[in-house]
Structure 1
Amino acid sequence: MKLADLLQPQAVPAGKETLEITGLTLDSRKVEPGFVFAALAGVAVHGRRFIAQAVEAGAAAILTDAPVPDCPVPVLVAEDAPAELARLAANFYPKQPGHVVAITGTNGKSSTVEFLRQIWHAAGFDAASLGTLGVARGQSVETTGYTTPDSVALHKALDRLAREGVTHLAMEASSHGLKQRRMESVTLSLAAFTNLTQDHLDYHPDFDDYFNAKARLFTERLPKGCPSVINIDSPWGERMAELSRETGHIVFTLGWRGQDLQIHEITPRPASQDVAFSWRGQDFRIDIPLVGEFQVLNALCAAAMAWASGISQDVILDSLPRLTGVAGRLEKVGETADRAPVLVDYAHTPDGLDKLLRAARPHTQGRVIVVFGCGGDRDASKRRLMGEIAAREADITIVTDDNPRSENPALIRQAVLEGCPGAEEIADRTTAIARGVDLLRAGDCLLIAGKGHETGQTVAGVVHPFDDREEGRKALHLREGSHVL
């Protein structure tokens, strides 16, 4: 593709209109001959430090936010370089599914986009979901490693999915991705908001910045006149709904206080929940095969999004009792001979852990046992809070290592234990999980929280193979009569 095909006419350097561009990247290590290297500001360093390396690797042009003296290749200077990169990526990878919807919020995004994909599939559409778990389509999942991929990877994925026949795509929109303009030039037809609780305050300077980053999905990315689906069970949801209305969207609200879809009652069953709700004046009662109030909210948010995207109410209501859970989200990996279950969940925030533990309680006749830790190089203020929640909501707490990353894991555990001084401390996560399984008695439940679907543990900058689900299964195998999934 020619450089002139990627840029606005006035932005093309004189005499470089026919310069052949073979690819785009933000990573200087991935530059190939003919690539545009985007030298953007990062969390720790600016990409300008790697321009010489990119040029040596064959970069045909550099995109950045300030002039680069004596650069031997054309320099494309943009005031908002991240947004410009997204526009270049959209031109380089021009196709997108006809219906792309995005959902933001602290918790629930992964489950909601997957439930929406399942409803679309039941309606007969070739649908996919994109987010923390990767790209899911049919029975396959392709891991990406990011909630919202960088703009180049995102547009490349959109183009490929569209060419493969996907017509409906549900994607997660992280606060990082929105603030860093990764979703620029994505054509959205619908957006949704789940909730806002403490997370990512290592990246955002304060909670207002965190909210404002999420709000960009509605104030900047979703076109006027499009529908938005908002859970209004919190002041943040009310505020987001008002912003969406002011922007000119058709707002659909849900939740216990929802005006369009309102939950009235949730009755826990052994492996499901009986949910009574009203939907635009009609009352319904459906058994949804998911555990935890928050999963009901995710499922109904997906239902509202499906309706707003044009799916009939009958198809949606028929799909809800057939939904299947998401990997690493209250995922059952087995049970003891006494039928005490072992569940793995991604809960890694105070709100997430609180909801997880409270979700398990109605389904548990005996003790709720939890194994969890906190990640390093992330918001340290949530560690004690999560300890306090575990001490309050669980009967037995085992504090272990999560992903220490570059931090001293003992200090992370110490901070968590300040909130739950009566907990057991077992540094090795495999040993901690085995201990939790060993403690199980009839009527108990074991929750392994924090890593969910992840298949690695990052210690001192090195990723070691580790899967909570497999460790739970291994521990169950050692107990006679256990049933492993």
Structure 2
Amino acid sequence: MKLSQLLSQDMYLPPEWDREFNHLVSDSRDVNKGDLFIARSGTAGHGEKFIEDAIAGGAAAVLAEGEQGFRCAENGVPVFYLPQLRQQLPVWLNRRYCAAGDVRLIGVTGTNGKSSVTQYCAQLLELKGIQCGVIGTLGNGLWPHLQPTRNTTPDICLTYRLLNEVAQAGADIAAIEVSSHGLDQGRVEGLKFSVSVLTNISQDHLDYHGDMATYVAAKSRLFDPELSNIAVINTDDEYGEKLLQSALTGSKISTGSSPAAQVQYSSVEFTGLGMKANVRSPWGESELNLALMGEFNIANVTSALAALSALGYEFSSLAESAGKLRPVDGRMELYLAEGQPAVVIDFAHTPDALVNVVGALKNSGAYLSVVFGCGGERDRKKRPLMADAVATADAVWVTDDNPRGENSDQIFADIRQSAASAHYKFEHDRAVAIRSAIAATPTTGLVLIAGKGHETYQEIAGIRHSYSDAQTVYSLGYRRAGGDYAA
């Protein structure tokens, strides 16, 4: 595309400065030869200071926010300054990535659960033979072939480009994690969401937003009728209940365990293969049989069912397919082996996260063993708190979790400052600790392996060694629940 085609009637472009360009890019680190660099003002400064870096990376031209003007930069690269750049950018992106507008969007925001809901939507559609794009923390692209990402919600230029790519690959629907940062910084500006989902809101990112009121207000923007047609809101969350009662217009669907919820889950039962629950909705009632653990995952699945049903997909068929859902990588992944206790691998590596995961698993009523560790060269004060967080488990093994350059004996010593740790077992070799925990746990029990989640390495003395919790349990005859192994 030429600059003159992109800018159209928005500004006069002298023919001698017209240029062919490939992509619009607003992060100088991502510029490739022939790209058009967009230099905007932002929370961390103005992109103008990265213009020379973008040109060195091969930028063919630059559009910069500022008082209208022009200069010729190094290598004869034209730099155009425009005062209304931020307002015009979505218009330009729609011109360059015109297929992006053909994609129906599911936007998911919340402190926790964004990755799960977006990926559950994608999995449910895949099981129906429908291609779905995904943009979020664990990768971007056409499900399940996701590429690594730098941000939960990419910058606006990359978001439009990704939507254009999934549309060209054959998808007409995409599920996007929409972070509070993304909403505050205009990363989804100009997009219209067919359905927007709120999972929950708890304290987070106050270093950026300053206070809870500002944080909640940022997330609430996704449910403005100018951005969303349908709002799916978890009203078990106090902020969700307030949002539902706010001045939102358009269609609103409440979800949760409350009898007042329009899409309500109830009768939660933990089984040796996962969980069961009943779901009542405006589209009918169904029983869920999930190869997932933790009641919060039932809430996430319920949100995904509500979002897709609101778009016209058959509720009963979706609920039946939910039995084949797999957990998000490293998030409450359930592994099963005949005659062995069930194993759950989770990324929880903070005291609060451990409390939540242990609490969710204890609700099953099963005997619970926990394997956990603390990273080296990180906050030492949290180590005894981590030990306190798993104190309600029936048995605990403390092991190494990326000691990095720190002496792992020192890490153990810090953990032992917790009185609860007096009854814990300590074993540096993580694979040995896991095998010991499994061997000591009743076959009807659960083993939680916390901390590393989807990581495929163990960092010791500054060197990353190949290691995976999943591979360790696979070597003991386990298989991952979900998919073909669904309950």
Residue 2 to residue 195, structure 1, CA distance change in 2 (3 Å): same
**2:353 is the alignment partner of 1:346:** no
1:191/1:218 contact within 8 Å kept: yes
1:276/1:286 contact within 8 Å kept: yes
In terms of mean alpha carbon deviation, does 249-258 or 139-148 score higher?
139-148
Residue 413 to residue 22, structure 1, CA distance change in 2 (3 Å): farther
CA deviation after TM superposition for structure 1 residue 382, in Å: 8.3
1:65/1:77 contact within 8 Å kept: yes
Residue 381 to residue 84, structure 1, CA distance change in 2 (3 Å): farther
Identity of aligned residues (%): 29
1:372/1:448 contact within 8 Å kept: no
The within-5 A match list for 1:267-278 is 267-278=269-280
Show the counterpart of 1:21.
Answer: 21
* Structure 2 SS opposite 1:332: strand
Task: Select which of 292, 295, 306 maps to 1:293.
Answer: 295
The within-5 A match list for 1:131-170 is 131-135=136-140, 137=142, 140-170=145-175
Show the counterpart of 1:442.
Answer: 441
Query: 5+ residue gaps in structure 2?
Result: 480-487
Residue 419 to residue 26, structure 1, CA distance change in 2 (3 Å): farther
In terms of mean alpha carbon deviation, does 138-147 or 233-242 score higher?
138-147
* Structure 1 SS opposite 2:421: coil
The within-5 A match list for 1:56-455 is 56-66=56-66, 72=73, 73-78=78-83, 81=86, 85-96=89-100, 97-135=102-140, 137=142, 140-219=145-224, 222-223=227-228, 226-243=229-246, 246-257=247-258, 258-280=260-282, 283-333=285-335, 339-347=340-348, 352-363=353-364, 365-373=366-374, 388-392=388-392, 395-396=395-396, 398=398, 401=401, 422=421, 431-432=429-430, 434-440=432-438, 441-443=440-442, 444-455=445-456
CA distance in 2, matches of 1:17, 1:39: 18
CA deviation after TM superposition for structure 1 residue 287, in Å: 2.5
**TM-score, length basis structure 1:** 0.80
CA distance in 1, matches of 2:419, 2:190: 46
Alignment deviations for residues 301-348 of structure 1 (CA, whole Å, 9 cap, x no partner)? 11111111111233223323333333222223565x861333222345
Residue 144 to residue 29, structure 1, CA distance change in 2 (3 Å): closer
CA deviation after TM superposition for structure 1 residue 155, in Å: 1.7
* Aligned residue type for 2:113: G
CA distance in 2, matches of 1:199, 1:415: 26
CA deviation after TM superposition for structure 1 residue 108, in Å: 1.5
CA deviation after TM superposition for structure 1 residue 459, in Å: 9.6
In terms of mean alpha carbon deviation, does 183-192 or 7-16 score higher?
7-16
CA deviation after TM superposition for structure 1 residue 352, in Å: 4.2
CA deviation after TM superposition for structure 1 residue 158, in Å: 0.9
In terms of mean alpha carbon deviation, does 40-49 or 198-207 score higher?
40-49
1:354/1:390 contact within 8 Å kept: yes
1:177/1:183 contact within 8 Å kept: yes
How many residues end up aligned between the 2 structures? 468
**TM-score, length basis structure 2:** 0.80
* Aligned residue type for 1:312: E
CA distance in 1, matches of 2:288, 2:359: 21
CA deviation after TM superposition for structure 1 residue 367, in Å: 3.1
RMSD: 4.1
CA distance in 2, matches of 1:18, 1:119: 46
* Aligned residue type for 1:91: R
